Amino acid sequence: MRLTVIGTGYVGTVHAACMADIGHEVLGIDIDAERIASLSAGRAPIHEAGLSELLARTVASGRLRFSTSLAAGALFATTHFVCVGTPQRSDSDAADLRFVDAVIDGLAPHLRHGSLVVGKSTVPVGTAERLARRLAGAATGAEVAWNPEFLREGSAVQDTMHPERLVVGVTSERADAVLREVYEPMLRAGVPYVSTDPATAELVKVAANSFLATKISFINAMSEVCEAAGADATVLARAIGADSRIGPLFLEPGLGFGGSCFPKDIRAFAARAEELGAGAAVVFLHEVDRINTRQRLRTVETSRRLLGGSVMARRIGVLGAAFKPGSDDVRDSPALAVAMALQEQGAFVRVHDPEALDNARAACPELAYALDIPKACEDADLVLHLTSWPEYRRIDPVALAAVVREPLLLDARTGLDEPSWRAAGWTVHALGRPMRRTPELASGGAS
Ligand code: UDX
């Protein structure tokens, strides 16, 4: 099939390359000419596992090309995936739909008769219907469908090629048939396919993100109670996660969620529910957001407490800048927010990250950065573990103790092996854990 993918950010670039790889002829479109030039040369604009190879391969095959022209896209294909960003508005919690609207308006005059416009961007429920009305004016007989993506940064290619489910919101059998043809290899492999109306499809995405964000904030709320009660939130998480109705994933206590999706999506969802008169149903999302923000404050507070009440002129080595491991993305990164807050309170903060240093430098030029872990921790009075990169679990605490001024660790991701750090002479504090560990009754670590 011939497809266009409009918007070559995270979702669009991955979707375009994956669609070309499964055999479609794809034209990727973006208004950013520099990005299009680099994509046309087969270069990935983002750090994402497997994406560079995939882009190089599909561009070389000729099945993936790029353009800055929506008019060219409208002529190239009759199926168009819209993957532009829907950031938070600057004046409210609602989603800013100006990029989506601009794509629709740019396509409308050029669309071939009977085209299908498929939204992938995360949008407020009702958007597909609104866009369909907008397109109706152009009298092209074009239809609008919604097909949310669920890809996670760091495993975006894998998630697109082997999704856990495909969700399409359509208003005709014809649109459903087009989308079944697009995803034919996935359907053949047995991926569950949920075909529904556009409003339900739009809601599936925000409901899934809201549920996951709630799960993270739930365990972080428990972690606050555990800390107050002298209990251990990591043991608690393991114990409740063993119940198959709860499940162990997204139950890691710590600094909480960030990134380009969860924070803005739960706010936009609450704002949209409010508009629909259903705000009361999702009031809890405000609390989910507040609990999440509080983890950053807790980390800053605990750092101050560990340093005797003030961080002024103290050296702090920060491990991690990306919003999560496996990504170089620092958008709404909890790690950088903590690093900045400590620096603003007078600490000398030096940040390490295996992948996100360039982006972190651009976002927070006022912080100091180090290319390796010992350099970030040199002469530190306190070391903070803020992004759970696997590299940090491999740190030799004995060697690191030799470079710091004070072997004092705050593990805000509860991912480091406390006993081995303690054995190497470190004083270790972890969010949601008592300073001295209680015995792990009836857990994997107990005997
Ligand atoms: C998320 C959704 O998972 C994805 O389906 C959607 O399409 C986009 O948003 P992503 O932003 O890539 O994907 O990150 P994800 O892996 O879901 O993690 C989100 C945040 O939650 C990260 O900051 C992560 O560190 C944090 N997190 C995750 C926790 O704090 N605790 C956990 O137990 C799990």
Mean pLDDT, residues 107-113 taken together: 93
Nearest CA to ligand 1 atom 6: 150
Determine whether 313 is exposed, middle or buried from the number of CB atoms within 10 Å of its CB (0-12, 13-18, 19+).
Answer: exposed
| C-alpha closest to that of 350 among 432, 399, 405 | 405
pLDDT at 439: 40
How many other CB atoms sit within 10 Å of the CB of residue 109?
A: 11
Give the integer Cα–Cα distance in Å for 52 and 61.
Answer: 14
Q: Is 261 a catalytic residue?
A: yes
**Rounded distance from Cα 296 to ligand 1 centre (Å):** 16
How confident is the model over 303-333, as pLDDT tens digits? Answer: 999 999 999 999 999 999 999 998 899 999 9
How many other CB atoms sit within 10 Å of the CB of residue 214?
A: 18
Q: Tell me the CATH number for domain 205-292.
A: 1.10.1040.10
Nearest CA to ligand 1 atom 13: 152
Give the rounded percent of residues in the chain with a pLDDT score beyond 90. Answer: 93
**Rounded distance from Cα 288 to ligand 1 centre (Å):** 14
Give the integer Cα–Cα distance in Å for 268 and 97.
Answer: 11
- Buried-exposed string 83-95: b where 16+ CB fall within 10 A, e elsewhere: bbbbebbeeebbb
Mean pLDDT, residues 339-368 taken together: 98
DSSP 79: E
Give the integer Cα–Cα distance in Å for 41 and 289.
Answer: 41
**Rounded distance from Cα 249 to ligand 1 centre (Å):** 11
Measured from the Cα of 154, ligand 1's closest atom is: 12
How confident is the model over 136-180, as pLDDT tens digits? Answer: 877 678 999 999 999 999 899 999 999 999 999 999 999 999 999
- To which CATH superfamily is domain 298-430 assigned? NAD(P)-binding Rossmann-like Domain (3.40.50.720)
**Rounded distance from Cα 179 to ligand 1 centre (Å):** 27
**Rounded distance from Cα 155 to ligand 1 centre (Å):** 11
Residues contacting 408, CB < 8 A, separation 6+ = 306, 307, 381, 382, 383, 426, 427
pLDDT at 410: 98
Give the integer Cα–Cα distance in Å for 64 and 22.
Answer: 11
Measured from the Cα of 156, ligand 1's closest atom is: 12
Nearest CA to ligand 1 atom 32: 250
- Are domains 2-196 and 298-430 of this chain identical in fold? yes
pLDDT at 45: 86
Mean pLDDT, residues 118-130 taken together: 96
Residues linked to residue 119 through DSSP beta bridges, in sequence order? 82, 146
How confident is the model over 400-445, as pLDDT tens digits? Answer: 999 999 999 999 999 999 999 999 999 999 999 987 543 443 344 4
Give the integer Cα–Cα distance in Å for 247 and 239.
Answer: 10
pLDDT at 47: 84
Give the integer Cα–Cα distance in Å for 400 and 384.
Answer: 13
Give the rounded percent of residues in the chain with a pLDDT score beyond 70. Answer: 97
pLDDT at 436: 55
Nearest CA to ligand 1 atom 15: 152
pLDDT at 139: 65
Ligand 1 pocket check: which of 11, 159, 257 to mutate, most ligand atoms within 8 Å of Cβ? Answer: 257
pLDDT at 432: 93
Measured from the Cα of 265, ligand 1's closest atom is: 9
pLDDT at 137: 76
Mean pLDDT, residues 36-64 taken together: 94
Give the integer Cα–Cα distance in Å for 388 and 4.
Answer: 36
Residues contacting 34, CB < 8 A, separation 6+ = none
Q: State which amino acid sits at residue 445.
A: G
Measured from the Cα of 259, ligand 1's closest atom is: 11
pLDDT score of 200 more than 80 = yes
What are the tokens at 34? 């520099």
Contacts of the segment 401-404: beta carbons below 8 A, 24+ positions apart? 401/425, 401/426, 403/374, 403/377, 403/378, 403/379, 404/317, 404/377, 404/378, 404/379, 404/380
pLDDT score of 355 more than 90 = yes
**Rounded distance from Cα 151 to ligand 1 centre (Å):** 10
Q: Which residues line ligand 1 (CB under 6 A)?
A: 149-153, 209, 212, 216, 250-252, 254, 256-259, 261-262, 323-324
What are the tokens at 71? 């008019």
Measured from the Cα of 213, ligand 1's closest atom is: 21
Q: Which of 83, 261, 364, 377 is catalytic?
A: 261
Nearest CA to ligand 1 atom 27: 257
Domain edges within the chain:
2-196, 205-292, 298-430
Mean pLDDT of the chain: 95
How confident is the model over 238-290, as pLDDT tens digits? Answer: 999 999 999 999 999 999 999 989 999 999 999 999 999 999 999 999 999 99
Mean pLDDT, residues 203-231 taken together: 97
Nearest CA to ligand 1 atom 28: 250
Q: Tell me the CATH number for domain 2-196.
A: 3.40.50.720
Nearest CA to ligand 1 atom 10: 152
